[in-house]
Every structure is written in structure tokens, then in C-alpha cells.
A and B are shown apart, each in its own frame.
Chain A
Amino acid sequence: MARVLVVVPFPMDEGNVAKRRAQLDAVRLGDGISFDYRPVRIAPANYVSQQDSVLADVGILEAGMTAQAEGYDAVCIDTVSDSGMSALRSVLDIPVIGPGRHAMLAALMLGERFSILAMWDRWRHLYTKTLAELGLQHKCASIRSAGLQPNNQSLLAGKEDEFFPALHKAAMRCVEEDGADVILLGSTTMHEAHAYLAERLPVPIINPGPLTYRLAEAAIKLRLPHSRASYPSPSDVSNERLSAMGAIAQGL
């Protein structure tokens, strides 16, 4: 049985972790694979500035750095920001799957230009960073938001009637005005809107969290981890220091 650790980018109770775990319902998986969800201990309040990005990188690194030693076969990161992905890749030999990078590349297997559909504009910096790293800005038709304030704990619950149509309207503008032929959900927290949008849009829409589950399975079965040349190992892994940081954050 292959085991995958999903790192959840905010501290949260079991009830809200279940809302993250519900992403498994959106994908048919192969045999012999299971997923554990682990919230981070170190996190920003949300992901709207570079300060937040630093905390997110450290928090996700801390939560996932022992995954290989714990016997996991892969790590998925439950944020399209791909926070902590590079850092984890530098210390782990098992596959580490970031939904932002993987969704953009998968989109280009389904179409020629994609748009990123965000809840609000304050996530824009997350996408421009990954696009710049990939050098694929010319493949991005647009980054559009629906102007909706997200909640990283309760997600979209109770706001479906307001949020789903607003997201659909923004997605249609991506297609009709910006020339997108594939849409990416800009956050794994938007997964509850995926089925609604997929039924109504004239183009494919990628649900990035479930995509990572399938690609983790592919990476495990193909024995295809990341490149050590691209993600060199540190001279010394600061396990103890990072664990101490996690304990400090948890105690605050």
C-alpha cells in the first residue's frame, strides 16, 4: 500500500481537515494508495503577501520534512501557491507534488492557453511566482478573480448561492474575453465549486488538489521523483531547529 502525506497549509481542527479530505471524492484513484492529511503548525493568517509566503514555506517544510522517514511514498501540498514544495524537494527523495506547477503543466496537455480563476486579487502574486519559475507567462491567458473573500477553514460552505455564480461569471470572462481554453481553479480551497463549474463551462477546468493525488500515484508507480540537480540537498537538514519552531508556533 502506497502512502501519501497531504500537507494542509493552515492549522485546523479535524472537522475542517475533513473539508480538505473531501477532495478525494473528486477523483477515481488506482489501487493500493492511501492519503493522510496533516495541518501545519507554522502558518500565516492567509496568503496575501511575501511575509506570508516565507511563513508558508517554513511551515510546510516543517510539516513534511520527516515524511520519508515516516514511511510515506509521496507528499502532496494542499495549496496552489506550491509553498514549501522546493524546500521539501531539497530534503526528500520521494515525490513532492505541488498543485500550482502541476496544474499549469497539465493544462498545457489539454489546451494551448490557460486562465487562473482566483477568489480574490490578493492571490495574484502566488501565480505570477510559479509562472515566472516555469517561464510560461506566455501560456497564461489571464489571472482573474471573482472578488470574493475566501475562508481557508470553512471554505465555501453556506456561500454557494453567492459564490458559485460569481466564479462562473469570472470564468466565462476568462474564456470569452481573455482567450483561455483551459481554466485552473486558483486554490484547493475552491474545490467545492469544481463540479458546478465543470458542468457549466465550455472548457476543461482543473481541480488542482485531486490532480495532485493522481500525479502522486503516477510518480510513485513510475518511480519518477524530482531532479536532485534542480533541487540540491542542503549541507545539513535543520530538523531539530524546524521542529522547535513548530512547537513555538503551536504554543502561541
Chain B
Amino acid sequence: MSRILLLSPADLQLSLDQDGEGTFDADTQVVHRRVAYASCPPIGAHDWALADLAVLAAGQGAQDEGFDAVCLADFGDFGANALRSVLDIPVVTAGRASMLHALTLGSRFTVLATVRDRNRIGKLVHEYGLDHQCAGIIVMEQGQAMEPLLRQAEVLVMAPGTAGAAGETRVPTVDPLTLTVKLAESFLGLGLTHSRVAYPAPQVSKADLLTALAGDGFARGD
């Protein structure tokens, strides 16, 4: 049995299709909780700092609760590195995992996003050292025909809020939500987790402080 905690932002109605088609291992159990950020939508650095805090507070107890992995559904990867620093279990994040996985499928990827995530994705692409591999970030606008913009893409990464916007396409299309859970299963199956050298543990845990600061900011949806 693999128990996976999925954290998604409360401002987006993301839901994991735990279908009957067998996408996930039979013994995988996903518990989905929604996290409310203090400042939303998270379009700039002020909002991002508060989103980091909210996600860290929501996920820091996952290991003690008996979860085997944590998946972060927000493409902004808020709180991801901080969670890795306090958890030994794998933390798989939608933005990082989707963009890296896209490069297993083609040479360059295109991200389709809403205006909510545009700035954050640009920042992450640069931080992850993927400027040369990212063909572009296309912001979906209401009423705009997306197909012509996407025709030249090698691989499409669909940030939250863009599902279905690419229409019928032969271009490989990465759905970050299902991918993160599938990769979490993979890491668990291989006995892998993140590097403690890359994500050193704090000398002093501030779990109580973080919980107090976040207050009731996250709502349980399990």
C-alpha cells in the first residue's frame, strides 16, 4: 500500500481522476487536501512567499501521518524545496516534474498556462536551468483559438486551468496532476527519494511556528 498526500491550491478546482482504468497501482491510495494561500491568485513575489508558507505548513506532517510521498499539484511548486528539507519521503511537484518529464518525450516543451501562473512558470524555467529547452509559455486567453499557436510544439505541458484547450492534437500532452502521482509511485517502487545534500534538514524544526502562522489556511478535503 502506498499512501500519497496530494496538496492542491484551494483557488483552483483540481481533481485527480482516480479512475477505474488502472492508471495507478491497485494499492495506491491518494488523499487529496486543498491548501488556501493567504494572498491569491499567486501572481507575484509577495503571494509566492505566503504560498510557500501555506504549502510547507500543510505538508510538513505528512511523514508522521504515515504518508509515503507528497505530490504538489500547483504548477508553481510552492513550498516544494522547504518540504523536501523537512521530509524524508519523496516530494513530487507538478512544475518541475512535468517540465523534466516533457524532455523525456521531446527536445523542447511548450507550457500552456493561464495568466495566474505565467510569471511563476517563467521564474521556474530559469531556476531549473531549462531556458534553452522551453520553447515558450503560451497564456491562454478567453475565446482565443489555441490550436494554431500549439501546432509547432514538440511536447505540451498543460498547467492548471488549461485542460482541453489544446483540442485534439497528436502532440504529447503532459497532465501534471496524474504525472506527479505516477512519478511518486515510481520513486516509491524504486526506493528513491530526494537528496539530503541538496535539501539539508534544518537544525531546529519550526513545525509549531509554521502551523501557528498558517492558522486555518488549509482545508482538509480527504
Contact B190 A211 (CB under 8 A): yes
Contact A112 B186 (CB under 8 A): no
Could you tell me which residues of chain B, from 100 to 142, have a CB within 8 Å of some CB in chain A?
Answer: 100-101, 103-108, 128-129, 132-133
Contact B155 A111 (CB under 8 A): no
Apart from A30-B26, A206-B192, A221-B24, list 11 A-B contacts with CB within 8 A: A32-B22, A101-B103, A110-B198, A111-B195, A133-B107, A134-B103, A181-B197, A182-B198, A214-B190, A226-B172, A227-B106
30 example contacts (A-B, Cβ-Cβ < 8 A) are as follows A27-B190, A28-B190, A31-B22, A32-B22, A102-B104, A106-B100, A108-B96, A108-B128, A109-B92, A109-B97, A110-B90, A110-B195, A133-B107, A135-B132, A175-B197, A181-B198, A204-B193, A204-B195, A206-B192, A214-B185, A214-B186, A215-B186, A221-B23, A222-B178, A224-B105, A224-B172, A224-B173, A229-B154, A230-B108, A230-B154
Could you tell me which residues of chain A, from 7 to 41, have a CB within 8 Å of some CB in chain B?
Answer: 26-32
With A and B bound together, what is the CA distance between A150 and B116 in angstroms?
52
- Interchain nearest-CB distance for A129 vs B (Å): 14
Q: Please name the residue on chain B nearest to A195 by beta carbon.
A: B191
Contact string against A for B residues 175-201, beta-carbon threshold 8 Å, 1 for contact and 0 otherwise: 100110011011111111111111100
With A and B bound together, what is the CA distance between A202 and B106 in angstroms?
32
Judge whether A55 is part of the interface by a CB distance below 8 angstroms. no
With A and B bound together, what is the CA distance between A226 and B194 in angstroms?
26
Contact A224 B189 (CB under 8 A): no
- Interchain nearest-CB distance for A183 vs B (Å): 9
Contact residues in A for B179 (Cβ distance below 8 Å): 218, 222
* Total cross-chain contacts (CB, 8 A): 134
With A and B bound together, what is the CA distance between A109 and B192 in angstroms?
11
Contact residues in B for A109 (Cβ distance below 8 Å): 92, 96-97, 100, 183, 187, 194
Which of under 10, 10 to 19, 20 to 34, or 35 or more describes the interface residues of B?
35 or more
A-B pairs, 8 with minimum CB distance: A227-B106, A230-B106, A111-B195, A181-B198, A111-B198, A181-B197, A181-B195, A214-B186
Contact residues in A for B106 (Cβ distance below 8 Å): 226-227, 229-231
Contact residues in A for B155 (Cβ distance below 8 Å): 227, 230
Known: A101-B104, A227-B106, A230-B105. A182 touches B195 (CB 8 A): yes
With A and B bound together, what is the CA distance between A221 and B183 in angstroms?
12
Contact residues in B for A228 (Cβ distance below 8 Å): 170
Where the two chains meet, the residues of A that have a C-beta atom closer than 8 Å to any C-beta of B are: 26-32, 97, 101-102, 105-106, 108-113, 133-136, 138-139, 175, 180-182, 198, 202-204, 206-207, 210-211, 214-215, 217-218, 221-222, 224-231
With A and B bound together, what is the CA distance between A186 and B22 in angstroms?
33
Known: A32-B22, A221-B182, A222-B179. A111 touches B197 (CB 8 A): yes
With A and B bound together, what is the CA distance between A217 and B26 in angstroms?
13
- Interchain nearest-CB distance for A12 vs B (Å): 25
- Interchain nearest-CB distance for B87 vs A (Å): 13
User: Residue among A136, A138, A218 with the most chain B CB within 10 A?
Assistant: A218
CB < 8 Å: which of B24, B105, B185 contacts A227? B105
Known: A31-B22, A31-B25, A105-B101. A203 touches B197 (CB 8 A): yes
CB < 8 Å: which of A102, A204, A225, A231 contacts B194? A204
Contact residues in B for A206 (Cβ distance below 8 Å): 190, 192
Contact B172 A28 (CB under 8 A): no
Judge whether B146 is part of the interface by a CB distance below 8 angstroms. no
- Interchain nearest-CB distance for B220 vs A (Å): 27
